[in-house]
Structure 1
Amino acid sequence: MSQTGYQSFEELIVWKKARELKNELFQLGKAFPPEEKYRLTDQLIRSSRSINAQIAEGHGKRTNKDKIKYCTQARGSISETINHLIDAFDCGYISTEQLKRYRIRFDELEKILSGYIKYLRSLPGD
């Protein structure tokens, strides 16, 4: 945190963890068949990017109510991303073990995000 007490979104643990997963999924999508480039691969990349984008956008909002709204949308993007990973599994693009590992990591991310939302809710009103 800076000397002024302001913390950028890039310093948030939840944003860092989401970024790590987003980058891994980008690499994972490269291994999908070419015919999935504008279908599943694109959806997987978009939903994982949306997690980071929503956290960052919410962080820039003035009120805690708005911050919470965007974090809640990020939580929805986590669910969407898991759904796309299940689709990848159903199509045989990832293994049971890969799906299990990603589920565990996204569950962890969702818990961190929920903790951040709880923290925001505990702050004095806007």
Structure 2
Amino acid sequence: MTTYRRHTDLPVYQAAFEAAMEIFRLSKSFPETETYSLTDQIRRSSRSVCANIAEAWRKRRSAAFFVSTLNISEAEAAETQVWLQFAVECGYATGDEIRTIYKRYDEILAQIVHLITNPDPWILKT
């Protein structure tokens, strides 16, 4: 098993961070009228996925805390997918642009769920 020293070493964190940056770049083209609504929401939820993975990493002393925080990350990833759907339906991005990012979030969600359902290898031994 690979040794991970920091949350930034985790493939799921790296994927979530890159996806959040892609959303940031994409959302720069959203209309100014969406600054405090869709643009803000999609940026916040995508960044929250990463932040909660980092927080879960630091809560590895307890399986319950680890899983609970990863559950938040999972919910934020799903929320991000909803905002991606709105971006397409509102005409702010093409289906092709969004489809790629949406699929990345499917992969991120799968990785988070794997951590949630298999927490024991990640929990720090005291």
TM-score normalised to structure 2 length: 0.88
Q: 2:54 aligns with which of 56, 71, 75?
A: 56
- Is 1:78 aligned to residue 66 of structure 2? no
Residues 114-125 of structure 1 mapped to structure 2, 5 A cutoff: 114-121=113-120
* Alpha-carbon offset, residue 6 of structure 1: 6.0
Report sequence identity in percent. 32
Q: Which runs of 5+ in 2 are unaligned?
A: none
Unaligned runs of 5+ in 1: none
Given candidates 34, 42, 51, the residue that maps to 1:44 is 42
Q: Would the aligned equivalents of 1:68 and 1:121 in 2 still touch at CA under 8 Å?
A: no
Tell me if structure 1 keeps the 8 A contact 2:4–2:10.
no
TM-score, normalising length from structure 1?
Answer: 0.88
1:104 maps to 2:90: no
2: CA distance, partners of 1:32 / 1:56: 28
RMSD: 2.3
| Amino acid in the other structure paired with 2:46 | S
**Counterparts of 2:4 and 2:45, CA distance in 1:** 28
Change in 2 beyond 3 A, CA 1:7/1:64: farther
In structure 1, the partner of 2:18 is 20
Highest relative contact order (Cα 8 Å, sep 6+), 1 or 2? 2
In the alignment, is the contact (CA less than 8 A) between 2:17 and 2:50 conserved in 1?
A: yes
Change (3 A) 1:66 1:7: same
Deviation at 1:7, TM superposition (A): 2.0
Count of matched residue positions in the alignment of Structure 1 and Structure 2:
124
After superposing on structure 2, the runs of 4+ consecutive aligned residues of structure 1 that deviate more than 3 Å are 121-126
